[in-house]
Amino acid sequence: MTLADYPRVGRLLGRLAGRFPESPDAARLPLPLRHRDLRQYFFGRVSHGVLPALRGDAVWEHPLVAPVVDADLRRDLHDRRARFARFLIDLARARFPLDHPRDAAV
């Protein structure tokens, strides 16, 4: 990346940050954008969009990817995906002492 790239990167980051407006009017926007927590993002976009693309050979055989990835990377990604999925499920089931105002008084 060169110094000339920074204005464009700044604009793109600004657009990304503005994708999910906080105003009450956001629900009326004609955009299918909404906040998602990490679990929703992982089990949605990552599990159904990113990971299926990584299961095929095309990505791994691409001339820019093949020379720089470790031979075990595909296996590691699969193993970590499964571990992270279990972690997110366990985290969703966990109870925290301050989950509810009544719990905080105990």
Cα gap 104→26, rounded to integer Å: 32
In this prediction, residue 106 carries a pLDDT of 47
Q: Which amino acid is at 58?
A: A
For residue 92, the number of C-alpha atoms closer than 13 Å in the C-beta half-sphere is: 11
Cα gap 87→94, rounded to integer Å: 10
Residue 25's domain comprises 3-104
pTM (whole model) above 0.75: no
What's the mean pLDDT in 52-77? 87
Tell me: pLDDT of 86 over 50: yes
In this prediction, residue 10 carries a pLDDT of 79
In this prediction, residue 63 carries a pLDDT of 92
- What per-residue string of b and e applies to 16-55 under the rule 16 or more CB within 10 Å gives b? eeeeeeeeeeeeeeeeeeeeeeeeeebeeeeeeeeeeeee
Q: Which amino acid is at 42?
A: F
Q: Domain count of the chain?
A: 1
